[in-house]
Structure 1
Amino acid sequence: MLLPHVLRAVAALLLLAIASAHGQSLPTAVNTDPARAQVTLPVPANPALPSLILIGDSTVRNGRDDGQGKGAAGQWGWGNPIAAWFDPAKVNVVNRAVGGLSSRTYITSGHWERTLAVVKRGDVVVMQFGHNDASAVNDASRARGTLRGTGDETEGIDNLLTHQHEVVHTYGWYLRKYVADIRAKGATPVICSPIPHKQWDAQGRTKRDRDTYGGWAAAVAREQGAGFIDLNDEVARRYDALGHDAVMQLFPQTVPDEHTHTNWAGAALNAQVVAAGLKALGDPRIAAWLKPQPPVNPLPPAREDDRPVVDAASVRDEAPRDPALPTLFLVGDSTVKSGGLHGAIGWGERIAPWFDPRRINVVNAAIGGRSSRTYFTEGRWDKVRDQLKKGDIVLVQFGHNDGGRIGDPAMKNRASAPGTASETVEDTRPDGSKEAVHTFGWYMARYVADAKAKGATVILAAPVPHRDRWQDGRDFATFADWDRQVADANGALFLDLTLLVADGYKQIGADRVNTFFADARTHTNEAGAAFTAERVVAGLKALPGNPLGPYFADKTVAGR
């Protein structure tokens, strides 16, 4: 009779064969162990060039290397942003690290064998392991630990995960194997000590790993005459200089107890230290690969802006909680209300705590993918107008979806005509019917007139700026001008939200601003939405007559 572990091995092989035959990956349940997961890793983009090859764990390459769809706020390894320091015309930067692995399981999983196959003479291979090496040597979940130290001690185990006999070595032994294998290919090995954790000692300084993996990595590098970057100590020194509060901003804010994986800002800092360490090795080849000027505030390769026309049936219409109270209605697009799609949060979803719920309702009636035109033609404005009563306030922000050429299918029948005049442009709907499209200013003036007729106060807000359009020049200049013209001509208030947010960004700097977005340039994440909401409130308090003054919460109620 076949033993149970043999049967399991046979079943796994059959499943792999079936999946391969149909060109499919294995089901998720089979890939729960990182050491056995099917991971697609990059290869050199230009085989004619030398390569800087990175191996390690999730602090070098996290997950699918995409920030989990959360943009800069997600978890990132330093192996992604370090590419910005190198000239792609001179060197390939190939990040073949795999999350969840140790110096041992990167080898036993077969990842090292596959990586070594792309290493050639003249390449440089940088390794950083240690975060997972302290795990259990033998268990049924990961079985990834290594023996402590740098000696030649071994431990024979019957691996509870793989059901194979295995001889486990020390952390230092595995590093020496990498060094020997790399040199056998005519390439140059560089050892990094692991990045420090977000932890502090009794004196308030960042904890170092000098007595464990940091010290052992240094010892192997000295013994082998290999290049060494003391990433653990150098990053810790940077953390100490920045201070506790600034270091906290280098880690994902949605996971307060996350002490290992950085967000994009933290990964960029670590990458800068690695790049400086590589340059300090004195290898003229590496010096030639580096860009003459290091990048300033490199941006994460965030997911492309996705501006779908959100299905109205999927959005719950909000209504005033207490009809007896005045209501602040928010009207706009996905920058006001995103609902958490792909990690995006609109500022309107984080503004309620700034108001006293005993004195005013806050109703966010915004919906993603709409322009001043489509919010009107879909009847969504009618729903807001019908709820309005004397004493209510309406804040309207459109512009992100109003641009483009009318008639262009890519605009999804959203573009409004430019300006504030009364002329119209004919557009053809998908069903073949014709639509007389008005100017942006016409739609905004209609909102003002309808709301004022119900006794409400109207505030027209210029659109929030893009991530790449706040440092130089002015974003949404024409839309801001049209909003101002309509407000002045029709008795509404104007809030220059574009400049308010841009000025706030300038105060905190690009490094922090780059952590505020869930996609390439438009939609904010949790932190960005909260920051923008605070800027909106500052602008509202500065409006002539301070119409919302009686309704703001005190700092205790707002949680600030």
Structure 2
Amino acid sequence: MKRAILPFAALLLTTPAHATRPGDTILIASDSTAADYAPARYPQTGWGTMLRCAVAPDVRILNHAMGGRSTRSFLAEGRWDRLRADIMPGDTVLIQFGHNDQARAKPERWAPAQTDYRDNLLRFIRDVRIAGGIPVLVTPVARRNFGPNGHAIADYPAWSAVMRDLATITATPLIDLESRSRAWLDRAGPQASKSLYLHYSAQDAIAAFPKGISDDTHFSELGARQMADLVAAGLKSLALPIAAKIADPRPALTRTSPLGRTDCQ
């Protein structure tokens, strides 16, 4: 495991110096499911980190995702303003929220789907377009939560529904990551899908989780890589300039594959 940490950290630090042309940048506004993590947290990985492995080498990814953030707190903390300042004309801005917007017990995060969440998304769409960028709405990724019928459950249906509705009303491109990731979980099944999330025992001797962990929300590197591929496939399916920058599909990886690499194979 230790051998994997250093190259994994190098991936976060590597940004193509020549990726400065308009349209060569993807910006991400999101939460912990997409965020970059320090090497000490490995193997916890966000799909935004691994999206760097699913695009052409000359594409720059500015990942503004941060754990625990909703549309409300992302705005309140000035994170959206910082992202907006980075937008160049033609850039693509991926907007995925919902996990924390539903946290009614945490008023700093709580953004009811039909009111605050909807209004915040409208602001994001407007601001990106004013800056000359291309907003892309991304429905909240599924948790590893299976129903009695063995199929993955949508944990954020109201927030996803609002996002789908706004995509239609505002003619904003949409990646329905909730639907794509639920199908992905269904294919994996309840047992095999554990390797895609943070499921480790104390016997696995993971430095970041010495007592073990059972987390059905956040991804292992393997899960983040596969989730990034779903996002990349969604981008490629859209009639956007960035679609030409999506790399060819990568070979399938397993939990025993040599992860933590910078070659993105």
Q: Note the C-alpha offset of 1:48.
A: 3.1
1:83 and 2:52 are equivalent in the alignment: yes
How many residues are paired up?
A: 237
Identify the match of residue 227 of structure 1 among 168, 173, 181.
173
CA distance in 1, matches of 2:161, 2:126: 20
Q: Note the C-alpha offset of 1:287.
A: 2.5
Identify the match of residue 127 of structure 1 among 87, 95, 107.
95
Q: Do the aligned partners of 1:68 and 1:75 also contact (CA within 8 Å) in 2?
A: no
Q: Note the C-alpha offset of 1:294.
A: 2.6
Q: Note the C-alpha offset of 1:200.
A: 1.1
Identify the match of residue 68 of structure 1 among 40, 44, 60.
40
Secondary structure in structure 1 of the residue aligned to 2:62: strand
Q: Do the aligned partners of 1:192 and 1:231 also contact (CA within 8 Å) in 2?
A: yes
Q: Note the C-alpha offset of 1:136.
A: 3.3
CA distance in 1, matches of 2:133, 2:257: 36
Secondary structure in structure 2 of the residue aligned to 1:54: strand
Which residue is equivalent to 1:47? 20
CA distance in 1, matches of 2:220, 2:104: 27
Greater relative contact order: 1 or 2 (C-alpha under 8 angstroms, separation 6 or more)? 2
Q: Note the C-alpha offset of 1:121.
A: 0.7
CA distance in 1, matches of 2:171, 2:78: 26
Q: Note the C-alpha offset of 1:119.
A: 0.2
Which residue is equivalent to 1:296? 251
Secondary structure in structure 1 of the residue aligned to 2:51: helix
Amino acid at match of 1:60: A
Which residue is equivalent to 1:278? 235
Change (3 A) 1:49 1:42: farther
Change (3 A) 1:209 1:69: closer
CA distance in 2, matches of 1:249, 1:138: 30
Q: Do the aligned partners of 2:22 and 2:90 also contact (CA within 8 Å) in 1?
A: no
Secondary structure in structure 1 of the residue aligned to 2:255: helix
Which residue is equivalent to 1:145? 110
CA distance in 1, matches of 2:101, 2:136: 19
Which residue is equivalent to 1:530? none
Q: Note the C-alpha offset of 1:244.
A: 1.2
Gaps in structure 2 of 5+ consecutive residues: 1-12, 201-211
CA distance in 1, matches of 2:64, 2:14: 6
Which residue is equivalent to 2:130? 184
CA distance in 2, matches of 1:111, 1:147: 20
Q: Note the C-alpha offset of 1:66.
A: 3.4
Q: Note the C-alpha offset of 1:67.
A: 5.0
Amino acid at match of 2:249: P
In the TM superposition, what are the counterparts of 1:141-290 in structure 2 within 5 Å? 143-149=108-114, 151=115, 170-209=116-155, 211-254=157-200, 255-283=212-240, 285-290=241-246
Which residue is equivalent to 1:482? none
CA distance in 2, matches of 1:108, 1:42: 30
Q: Note the C-alpha offset of 1:249.
A: 1.2
CA distance in 1, matches of 2:64, 2:250: 22
CA distance in 1, matches of 2:142, 2:41: 25
CA distance in 1, matches of 2:213, 2:105: 29
In the TM superposition, what are the counterparts of 1:125-524 in structure 2 within 5 Å? 125-136=93-104, 139=107, 143-149=108-114, 151=115, 170-209=116-155, 211-254=157-200, 255-283=212-240, 285-291=241-247, 293-297=248-252, 510-514=253-257
Gaps in structure 1 of 5+ consecutive residues: 1-40, 152-169, 298-509, 522-560
- So what's the TM-score if we normalise by structure 2? 0.82
CA distance in 2, matches of 1:97, 1:121: 21
Amino acid at match of 1:183: R
- Structure 1, residues 449-478: CA drift from partner, whole Å, max 9, x if none? xxxxxxxxxxxxxxxxxxxxxxxxxxxxxx
Q: Note the C-alpha offset of 1:177.
A: 0.6
Change (3 A) 1:295 1:59: same
Secondary structure in structure 2 of the residue aligned to 1:180: helix
Change (3 A) 1:44 1:219: farther
Which residue is equivalent to 1:98? 66
Identify the match of residue 57 of structure 1 among 6, 20, 31.
31
Q: CA RMSD in A?
A: 2.4
Change (3 A) 1:257 1:54: same
Q: Note the C-alpha offset of 1:147.
A: 2.0
Q: Do the aligned partners of 1:198 and 1:259 also contact (CA within 8 Å) in 2?
A: yes
Q: Note the C-alpha offset of 1:253.
A: 2.1
Q: Note the C-alpha offset of 1:148.
A: 2.9
Amino acid at match of 1:227: P
Secondary structure in structure 2 of the residue aligned to 1:249: helix
4+ runs deviating over 6 angstroms = 41-44
Q: Do the aligned partners of 2:29 and 2:94 also contact (CA within 8 Å) in 1?
A: yes
- So what's the TM-score if we normalise by structure 1? 0.40
